[in-house]
Amino acid sequence: MPDSSRTRLERSTTAAGATIATITIAHPPLNLFDPAMFEAIATDVADLVASPPRAVLIRAEGRVVSGGVDVHHFDGMSTEDGADLWRDLFARLIHRIEALPCPVVFAAHALTLTAAFEIALGCDIILAAPGAKFGLVETVVGLTPSMGGPQRLAERAGSGRARELVMTADLYDARTMCEWGVVNAVHEDVDAAALALVTKLADGPTRAHDATKQIIGAWRSGGVAHADSVTPEVSGALFDTDDLRGAVRSFLEVGPGKASYTGR
């Protein structure tokens, strides 16, 4: 069983009754990723897969989001051990986070290194505090980021920026990451901004948000033509949802922006 001190999974409801799930990384002083941390987050994500909320917030507490991976984890690993580790983390963490049928927001209040940054890159939206810094510094132990960081950075910021960030192992501030398109927005009070955003998203048309994720996922795997090929079915299915029917009636009867949603 995972060490429960590594993370907390909490569910809450908005004023409109929508469920929000919050995963908090909480293992001071550095929130290092060791086997127990990976297992704790994977267990939390499995809980969300089994019972999806309408929005997810991933955050951390303490003076850093994470100081990275506990390097003891890599000592003595074989080629097979390393490959098995990355396969497991893709299958149980990154791919499952990306496939959740609801918006996922990551809030970075401070230093965010290696595994934590790669988890953030698997989320839909990243918010940061002005003092947050980001880095994929695996080259300090002769490794490259292997939980999807380089390719997801390339998607957001371009392949040249991804190579720069990974190869230099430098730290980059929140404003730079925002200018590059890696971070969506910078807020003085990032926790308050993140909560406001996930509340707005949770109260929205959840099935439509899931459709958006599916279409963008199709583009990521096969380009515009593949996304175009799946859009008719993915979007067409929304006409059989209570949310679309109710929102159309609301629009026609009282105008735009007045609809409420149940996620069905």
Over residues 233-260, the pLDDT tens digits come to: 999 999 999 999 999 999 999 999 999 9
Q: Calculate the CA dihedral of residues 137, 193, 206, 178 and round it to 10 degrees.
A: -40
In the prediction, which pLDDT does 36 show? 95
**Nearest C-alpha neighbor of 162 from the set 140, 187, 180:** 180
Q: Can you tell me the mean pLDDT for 14-31?
A: 97
- In this predicted structure, what is the pLDDT of residue 4? 52
239: Cβ–Cβ under 8 A, 6 or more apart, which residues? Answer: 245
pLDDT given for residue 1 in this prediction: 37
Name the helix (H) or strand (E) containing 110.
Answer: none
User: What pLDDT does 252 receive?
Assistant: 96
Non-local (6+) Cβ contacts of 254 within 8 A are: none
pLDDT score of 73: 85
Give the number of other Cβ atoms within 10 Å of residue 184's Cβ: 17
pLDDT for 3 equals: 46
Residue 5's pLDDT band (cuts 50, 70, 90):
confident
* 88, 207 Cβ separation under 8 angstroms: no
Please, what CATH class does the domain formed by 7-202 belong to? Answer: alpha beta
Rounded CA separation 218/109 (Å): 31
Confidence of residue 100 (pLDDT cuts 50, 70, 90): very high
User: Using one digit for the tens of pLDDT, what is the confidence trace for 104-157?
Assistant: 999 999 999 999 999 999 999 999 999 999 999 999 999 999 999 999 999 999
Element containing residue 213 per DSSP (H, E): helix 206-236
Using a 10 angstrom Cβ sphere, with 0-12 exposed, 13-18 middle and 19 or more buried, the burial of residue 28 is: exposed
Taking the domains of the chain in order of start, what are their residue ranges?
7-202, 206-254
For residue 90, the 8-state DSSP code is I
